[in-house]
Amino acid sequence: MALKREFTVDHAYTYDQRTPLRWLVSHVRRHILFYLFGLVGWIGAFSAYSTIQRLIGYGAEQILEGTTVETLFKVGAAIAFCTLIDGTSSLLGGFALETLSARVQRDAREELYLSLLGKSQVFHDRQRTGDLMARATEDMRGIGEMIVPGFMFTFDTFVGITVPLIFILTIQWRLLLVPVIALLMFGVLARRYVRTLNPIIEKQRTQFGTMNAGLEETVSGIEIVKASAQEVFERTKFRRNAHLLRDYTVQQGKLEARYLPLLVFAIALGVLFLHGITLYRWNLVSIADIIAVMGLFGVLRFPVFISIFCWSMLENGMRSAERILNVIKEETDLDENANGYTAALKGEIVFENVSFGYEDGMLLQDISFHIKPGQTVAIVGQTGSGKSTLTQLVNRTYDVTGGRILVDGVDVREWSLDSLRSQISKIEQDIFLFSRSIAENIAFGAPDTPQAQIEAVAQDAQAHEFIQSFADGYKTKVGERGVTLSGGQRQRIALARAFLSNPRILILDDSTSAIDSATEDEIQKAIKKAQQGRTVLLITHRLSQIRWADHILVIDQGKLVADGTHEQLLRKSPHYRRIFSRYDMALPPLEGEAVKDVRSTQEIAAR
């Protein structure tokens, strides 16, 4: 079954995600020609190098027999030619594998990035940004190193053992006895080594992600760290994580130091020489054969030596691939529903017995209301009552747990997610700006917008004047998250961005909280102009904004406790009166069932 996605790319290449190994193989298979070219290059290199050992043995035999200088010159020329083939094949094979490594990393990084874009907000709420960054950088590097030099070392190990053994077989099959026994012992020892190495590599990868996540959190919250004088605590925490990563690395080093195949090779080299001398005494081989075989067996030393790095890099790459694939495969809570309902929004919103919550409890319970197209609805309530969560259900940032939400009479889950969200704009209190120019931030989502139109919406949002005060104007680069701007400036840029998108539903989540009263009056004029023909959901505590709303919803502890106009709620809702009790205003007497909350009314009057 296909995984759910909030976002996908048409005609994207499909990879086999059943296991990390299959996933890596499917990435390599996409560029199989580079892999095959690298393999052929390495086979050619070792074949040429092994031929050189045969030629050396042949040359020694010719010297012992007292051959002519011309014959020795031909042997030397053949050795030089084989050396040229060896170097050229190694160069071309290495180039092919380097290209393969770069392309696999590029494809895997793009696949991970698109996967993260497609995950729901619930997924991202559970993740630590630093750990995701570690997977996108360090783990990607692990995959690249698995190919180069990992695959190179693998080819060296496999081809560098196989080809010399074939050449030894052509000389005298009895001389294969010692190499084969050594090879079997090498396989047993290598298997034990890999089984011991696996958990250490896995702990390394996990610990690096933990350390990186802590680093990212500290840097992102550096203002709080310094304001709270917690530098020493954060340094101690980072040092503890770094030391733990070091310990796992030292464990790997100790394991590599006890790598036994090199010792087995050294012993086998001596035994092979004794075995060759024995066969010579039995007249089964010649001195030239022994020289050639010893040279061929010497070729195995480098493959055996680098196999220690080969296993480490392969296991590191597999663990990295597993961590990356776990993120890619994690199913999101929402489906983009690309073939869903698509239409121009009118702006009607209906909540029918809507509930929402997480495993640890419900945030909204049994909420029902109806908003007509073009209405401005204010949502009020104490902090933590669920106001922002309610608006996040409209554009399917989250999906309802119970009930349903209709937009223009269609369940939001039946809408094409792209069509729905492209016609809804939201401005939050915590404005996020990208590390780009002011013009690019305003035109985010519409990069081809003419400069004149960008300036027009900036004027509507009362941002044009302060933007022009900068030396570079609209080309001014803002810092990460817009930290070089004040809160009010960031919110006005966000308003301009919303005006430019021309949404049918506009959500303002306390979006003018950091704006002074004089600027707020101007922005309210812009908002009133923008709300014409649009449905506006307004979360605010400012009475000046609430009073011009067509309808008001009062949320308390995740429940809709009252709704109506400002005047109606002042009379019938003790919750609404409590919210505005801080204002110096005459409150009308309570009506109907609200009279039951006499105590609350007396408390308000006493303030």
Q: Does 389 map to a domain?
A: yes
Q: Does 448 map to a domain?
A: no
Distance CA(441)–CA(493), nearest Å, equals 8
Query: Residue type at 224?
Result: I
Strand partners, 352: 404
Residue 607 has a pLDDT of: 39
Give every CB contact of residue 391 below 8 A, 6+ residues apart in sequence: 379, 426, 507, 509, 537, 539
Range of the domain at 602: 565-607
> Is the pLDDT score of 264 beyond 70?
yes
Judgement on whether residues 302 and 358 belong to the same structural domain of the protein: no
> Is the pLDDT score of 403 beyond 90?
yes
Judgement on whether residues 372 and 322 belong to the same structural domain of the protein: no
Mean pLDDT in residue range 65-90: 87
Residue 244 has a pLDDT of: 92
Q: Does 482 map to a domain?
A: no
Neighbours of 329 (CB within 10 A): 12
Q: Does 402 map to a domain?
A: yes
Helix (H) or strand (E) segment spanning residue 416: none
> Is the pLDDT score of 553 beyond 90?
yes
With 0.85 as the threshold, say if the pTM is over it: no
Distance CA(133)–CA(470), nearest Å, equals 33
Residue 606 has a pLDDT of: 40
Judgement on whether residues 83 and 123 belong to the same structural domain of the protein: yes
Mean pLDDT in residue range 268-282: 90
- pLDDT digit string (tens) for 465-491? 889 888 888 998 887 666 678 777 887
Neighbours of 459 (CB within 10 A): 15
Mean pLDDT in residue range 400-410: 92
Distance CA(556)–CA(579), nearest Å, equals 11
3-class secondary-structure state, position 530: helix
Judgement on whether residues 307 and 343 belong to the same structural domain of the protein: no
Distance CA(88)–CA(75), nearest Å, equals 20
- pLDDT digit string (tens) for 171-201? 888 888 888 898 888 888 888 887 888 788 8
Q: Does 9 map to a domain?
A: no
CB 542 within 8 A of CB 512: yes
Distance CA(361)–CA(305), nearest Å, equals 58
Judgement on whether residues 324 and 397 belong to the same structural domain of the protein: no
Mean pLDDT in residue range 534-556: 84
> Is the pLDDT score of 245 beyond 80?
yes
- Among 329, 362, 383, which residue terminates a domain? 329
Judgement on whether residues 62 and 99 belong to the same structural domain of the protein: yes
**CA distances (Å), origin 570, targets 245, 564, 567, 589:** 61, 10, 5, 8
Q: Does 187 map to a domain?
A: yes
CB 507 within 8 A of CB 425: yes
CB 265 within 8 A of CB 168: no
Residues of the chain with pLDDT > 70, as a percent, come to: 87
CB 211 within 8 A of CB 245: yes
The count of domains in the chain is: 3
Neighbours of 406 (CB within 10 A): 16
Judgement on whether residues 199 and 81 belong to the same structural domain of the protein: yes
Higher model confidence: residue 59 or residue 585?
59
Mean pLDDT of the chain: 82
Q: Does 498 map to a domain?
A: no
Distance CA(176)–CA(183), nearest Å, equals 10
- Among 306, 329, 352, which residue terminates a domain? 329
**CA distances (Å), origin 214, targets 128, 238, 247, 319, 561:** 9, 7, 18, 21, 41
- pLDDT digit string (tens) for 125-172? 677 777 888 888 888 888 888 888 877 777 777 777 887 888 888 888
Q: Does 100 map to a domain?
A: yes
Neighbours of 447 (CB within 10 A): 8
Compute the Cα dihedral for 161, 162, 164, 168 and give only its sign.
Answer: positive
Judgement on whether residues 122 and 184 belong to the same structural domain of the protein: yes
Higher model confidence: residue 520 or residue 569?
569
Higher model confidence: residue 9 or residue 61?
61
Mean pLDDT in residue range 436-445: 86
Distance CA(89)–CA(79), nearest Å, equals 15
Residues of the chain with pLDDT > 90, as a percent, come to: 14
